[in-house]
Structure 1
């Protein structure tokens, strides 16, 4: 027989916890229908440091029971600095008193650049907690985005400035709001997935002045959510309805027996109308506190609902886990008692949990740095204004050699999304690093050309994510801007890629082999493989240009550095004119000659070509 466990809190009219109830005192309804109850157990959480001796009142071993734990999440993404400092001051005594009652506290701050930042980990020392509270900041972004009625927000330096892509004002505003909401979702998903691993009912105190939601904002009204165009290859945001996003967080929390208690430091009368905070607390069996809620009231409610609870085992309607949402209602037959319970549940498979981990990394790749890697991407013209994605992934192996539990296989995911579209392409590959590890190589290189991902001119966000066998995740974001190749337009360079040449089997020139490398007759071009040029060695350079006619191009290559600009001695290896794309591709072998050692930028000039300085550092060595 399959059983489902529910954690519920029962209080009297004064808010005091009611002990001594049995299965006869409860009724459970799933999707509107009564379900049989098999057992009811009163769970009393042990205090920090309590010995595993017999607890006579509960009749159980204290060491076998979950501990009194509270996770405090500071939402410095959406809460202004002054409000966050007010919250820390107002809740300081409450947290210290909970420590005195035997609670273990974990403090986490949602940082705009670093994501969930752990301040303490299951700590019982008041001095450590006080020191951690002093470091909690708040959000300048919230000030600019939420309060500015002018266009001051456009002046705020945000990570968008590093993307080297021109954005129109409306695009910038949309990305600012979308990024704020995606960062919020990423932090909540990541934090709840970690808390979920602990046993028993878990309590989270979420300090926030509200998630990104404004009825007057065109991106957060009843129909405008889709306008944000989430980078969501896993389909967590399924509709225009803002409540669907909140429901996703509620369902994940409920699947891990996590109750969310929200504290809003805003002092306005609109504070309790915060849709997200009220639904997070109500949906998970928590409470929604405001600035006007007294310290004693908060402390008493937290203690009453986090020190004891009933665990009800009942027979669910479905015989197996179906991944669907099931509405649950728990009632008591005793008049005057209030039951605090969850509104429902979704039973997630291991794959569904992993999907949410990966979705969080796509929402905010800058938060995930457990795995270090380098990624280079470019668009390869296949047909007229149709491109494939060509890339090189390099993974340093030092960390894999140190940590044996990491394993030898890595899951590699690449998502590509057009800036103004909802459509997202997702590719996935399992990489085996075993051979490179056994050969004691410093890094593992993986080259690829996409077969199913074909994109057209436009602006694209790309996110690459690596996930190891022990759950470590690393992510990177790269932006691509693909030109539209039209007739009667000036010539332009499509690709300029340094690399090196190796001998290979004779194949059709300018096609890709099974390794993702470019065939050149009897040689093979390896892209992005040469950032150092020892004296006497050869640097290979791929030039790809769009021309209205196959002009006789003779590009000249230069290295520009602090000591001047120096020409490279270049010899043509192979070239190809593709009538379908209107592009000519050429590979040259270049020697540095008598160029002094140092770091240089690659530059190309020539008749029929615009001058291009390539953002790639070349080191010339003795």
Structure 2
């Protein structure tokens, strides 16, 4: 059974940073989807194809002329053709041990390395027989199926993206499999604070679990797309997605399929219960696999079937064609791949989602930004990454506290006033120390952290307190020492005179995390300059075009009774619609600090 793709995808939040300071070397979050590829104005579609003969062996001697592709029934011309082979064997002994997360990412980028993720859906796996059989199948799988160079990660719903660990250690994987549990129908103790808050109604807990599972799978797909362009494979082990309403079930399924196809990820599914008396097969498990070029497994002897996951990754054909239909409607378009040689089975995704007009415009924006200075391009990245279906924005910044330590602030702004969403955030250091773990209130969350890189994981909660989306980014906490330095500029929005007076004279300022403003708004930017020479520093503010060209200087005034703090006021009625930056610079001799604040002026 194939579910009809819905047009709407599950809502997610793209966590963008309102202020991008070169001083803080802010690292932008990984993109949720790979950008579409364009060739000569047409959408270049790529399809991975596995071809298997009647004996179950991979066919590797085909040519471009052996393939035929149709899109929505219309014949297409195969322009790009490549046989990709990866045996899983290591070319040298030094490639084998994974020494660090950075080493794992470098290995994942290699064409001769295969990447696999096993997603254990513990919320939808029974505690007894299903979990026992699932562990048994996975133990044999991780111990015997993979080659020495293959990278494998084991995750569940609550695995943070920055905790996903790729390894080649089969004993380590086997031990991790041994610890897997099934929690279908098990609610005590709760796995998370979100789940605990929904304990009053068991139906709410089941819906929460289904939503968390869906969001987690999408996050893993996006993460794989960010670390590797080539083919990836996910084994999704589950009995079913759970108690989602029918419409939401379809929307989530379409969102997951869209992400998998966009990020070149094949999904295989395994029902650990094996064959059922009623012969029922989960439509979700079947569609996830068939629509992404994978297979669904429901067998009392799954071991030989699971080995086909690795086998099919050993050799596949990468085909590319420039669609003659050139769709730009954001909708699903069917692909049919046919091989002229008789007696073979063809495995390929059934279609793709064409880029929407907004995605095309964002891509053009990204290409145009490539010719600007690197610091300007980095500053513009939140504008390029904006998605129209995002319900809110996240901001992270830092300033110096009274004791000289860095005070980090996380703020959240909903796109619409009536959006009932909330955000929880977790900030951790490179050594695993947790510096903040809780809700982000309307007045922002502030905490102390030492200089260095923080991992910021945010979870979007919908109006019912359910987890709708997760995303992880990084933030570099500066060292506010004796050298000239600057706080992260706080961007605020004034829609009338009363708000303007409050923002320019108030003792504290709540950041506005969004990037888009009406031309009737007035922007206010507040920041502080620190360091031994801060009192004698020359501080300026100017308006830049999206190319980094200076357009005009901006009025700058000290904030009353707050030494070293400044405010910039800027009416957007003075500019036309488009993307801009506010450049803030402080200098004293050769000592300099600079920050760039991006924004978009709408009509």
Q: Aligned equivalents of 2:76 and 2:312: distance in 1?
A: 25
Native 8 Å contact 2:160 2:457 kept in 1: no
SS of residue matched to 2:156 = strand
Q: Aligned equivalents of 2:294 and 2:346: distance in 1?
A: 11
Classify 1:416/1:130 alpha carbon distance in 2 versus 1 (closer, same or farther; 3 Å).
Answer: closer
Which consecutive unaligned segments of at least 5 residues does structure 1 have?
53-61, 145-152, 214-219, 226-239, 378-390, 425-430, 453-506, 519-523, 528-622
Native 8 Å contact 1:271 1:290 kept in 2: no
Native 8 Å contact 2:423 2:440 kept in 1: no
CA-to-aligned-CA distance 1:322-343 (integer Å, 9 cap, x gap): 5432221111122222110001
Which residue in 1 is equivalent to 2:223?
194
Among 193, 205, 211, the residue aligned to 1:176: 205
Classify 1:108/1:263 alpha carbon distance in 2 versus 1 (closer, same or farther; 3 Å).
Answer: same
Native 8 Å contact 1:373 1:394 kept in 2: no
Q: Aligned equivalents of 1:314 and 1:251: distance in 2?
A: 19
Classify 1:107/1:516 alpha carbon distance in 2 versus 1 (closer, same or farther; 3 Å).
Answer: farther
| Structure-to-structure mapping, 1:472-491, within 5 angstroms | none
Query: How far off its partner does 1:440 sit?
Result: 10
Q: Aligned equivalents of 2:267 and 2:393: distance in 1?
A: 19
Native 8 Å contact 1:182 1:363 kept in 2: no
Native 8 Å contact 2:453 2:477 kept in 1: no
Classify 1:262/1:336 alpha carbon distance in 2 versus 1 (closer, same or farther; 3 Å).
Answer: same
Query: How far off its partner does 1:293 sit?
Result: 3.6
Q: Aligned equivalents of 1:302 and 1:417: distance in 2?
A: 39
| Structure-to-structure mapping, 1:390-539, within 5 angstroms | 391-396=442-447, 398=449, 401-403=451-453, 417=463, 513-515=501-503
Among 64, 72, 91, the residue aligned to 2:118: 72
Query: How far off its partner does 1:13 sit?
Result: 2.2
Query: How far off its partner does 1:255 sit?
Result: 0.8
The answer to whether the aligner puts 1:159 opposite 2:193 as a matched pair is: yes
Which residue in 1 is equivalent to 2:516?
none
Among 284, 293, 300, the residue aligned to 2:292: 284
Native 8 Å contact 1:394 1:443 kept in 2: no
Classify 1:174/1:321 alpha carbon distance in 2 versus 1 (closer, same or farther; 3 Å).
Answer: same
Classify 1:442/1:398 alpha carbon distance in 2 versus 1 (closer, same or farther; 3 Å).
Answer: farther
- Of structures 1 and 2, the one with the larger relative CO (CA 8 A, separation 6+) is 2
Which residue in 1 is equivalent to 2:281?
273
The answer to whether the aligner puts 1:247 opposite 2:258 as a matched pair is: no
SS of residue matched to 1:312 = strand
SS of residue matched to 1:70 = strand
| Structure-to-structure mapping, 1:592-611, within 5 angstroms | none
Classify 1:436/1:100 alpha carbon distance in 2 versus 1 (closer, same or farther; 3 Å).
Answer: closer
Taking only aligned residues, the RMSD between alpha carbons, in angstroms, comes to 4.9
SS of residue matched to 1:273 = coil
Classify 1:418/1:179 alpha carbon distance in 2 versus 1 (closer, same or farther; 3 Å).
Answer: closer
Native 8 Å contact 1:108 1:116 kept in 2: no
| Structure-to-structure mapping, 1:201-212, within 5 angstroms | 201-212=231-242
CA-to-aligned-CA distance 1:121-174 (integer Å, 9 cap, x gap): 1x22222122222232232xx224xxxxxxxx69979736865xxx896xx344
SS of residue matched to 1:10 = strand
Classify 1:28/1:16 alpha carbon distance in 2 versus 1 (closer, same or farther; 3 Å).
Answer: same
Native 8 Å contact 1:110 1:116 kept in 2: no
When normalised by structure 1's length, the TM-score is 0.52
Native 8 Å contact 2:135 2:177 kept in 1: yes
Native 8 Å contact 2:425 2:438 kept in 1: no
Among 80, 85, 88, the residue aligned to 1:44: 85
SS of residue matched to 1:260 = strand
Which consecutive unaligned segments of at least 5 residues does structure 2 have?
1-39, 94-107, 363-383, 395-419, 429-434, 469-474, 511-603
Q: Aligned equivalents of 2:459 and 2:492: distance in 1?
A: 12
Query: How far off its partner does 1:251 sit?
Result: 1.1
Classify 1:516/1:136 alpha carbon distance in 2 versus 1 (closer, same or farther; 3 Å).
Answer: farther
| Structure-to-structure mapping, 1:38-437, within 5 angstroms | 38-51=79-92, 65-82=111-128, 83-100=130-147, 102-111=149-158, 118=163, 120-121=165-166, 123-139=167-183, 142-144=184-186, 159=193, 172-197=201-226, 198-213=228-243, 220=244, 224-225=245-246, 240=247, 242-267=249-274, 268-270=276-278, 272-299=280-307, 301-319=308-326, 323-346=330-353, 349=359, 369=427, 372=436, 377=441, 391-396=442-447, 398=449, 401-403=451-453, 417=463
Native 8 Å contact 2:422 2:461 kept in 1: no
Q: Aligned equivalents of 1:448 and 1:20: distance in 2?
A: 61
Native 8 Å contact 1:206 1:260 kept in 2: yes
Native 8 Å contact 1:70 1:104 kept in 2: yes
Query: How far off its partner does 1:96 sit?
Result: 1.5
The answer to whether the aligner puts 1:35 opposite 2:64 as a matched pair is: no
Query: How far off its partner does 1:39 sit?
Result: 3.2
CA-to-aligned-CA distance 1:275-322 (integer Å, 9 cap, x gap): 1111101111111112424422332x2233111100112121355865
The higher radius of gyration belongs to 1
Q: Aligned equivalents of 1:5 and 1:525: distance in 2?
A: 51
When normalised by structure 2's length, the TM-score is 0.53
Among 7, 17, 22, the residue aligned to 2:58: 17
Number of equivalenced pairs: 388
